[in-house]
Amino acid sequence: MGWEPISESELASWVEQAYAAMTGSERRQFDEIRIPLRRLFCQRSPMLGPEVLYAVARRGRQYLIFDDVEEDFGIATHSGDEMEVLNSWVLAGELQYALHTLLSGDYGNCVIAPGGYA
């Protein structure tokens, strides 16, 4: 069976499982920036059409996103314009690590996502 995009309900379940594993401090930090699931469009390659990433939290123009192809959480900078198509983001791994990365601004352990061709 081939790859299937994650559904919003599946992602919500993943987020809740990760949330349950967080410390109290991490939960408070996440609660401060958490947003309802928001679809952001991305383009992994100039050869492919737009795909969807989901944002689960926001801090200014930085979004904590889930990349369902890589099955990792990461960080993307987005203007907030619904028509903007991301072509660069970083992957940080599990939700807790992505949260720490977003809040600290330390991207040293992140991986540029396959869409990071720009």
What are the tens digits of pLDDT across the range 80-111?
788 888 878 999 999 999 999 999 988 887 88
Question: Domains of the chain: which residue ranges?
Answer: 8-112
Strand order in the sheet with 85-86: 85-86, 34-42, 51-59, 62-67, 72-77, 90-93, 111-112
The model carries a pTM of 0.89
103-111: long-range contacts, CB 8 A cutoff, minimum separation 24: 103/29, 103/59, 107/75, 110/74, 110/75
Tally the residues of the chain.
Answer: 118
pLDDT per residue as tens digits for the range 12-53: 999 999 999 999 999 999 999 999 999 999 888 778 778 899
The identity of residue 89, as a single letter, is W
The identity of residue 32, as a single letter, is E
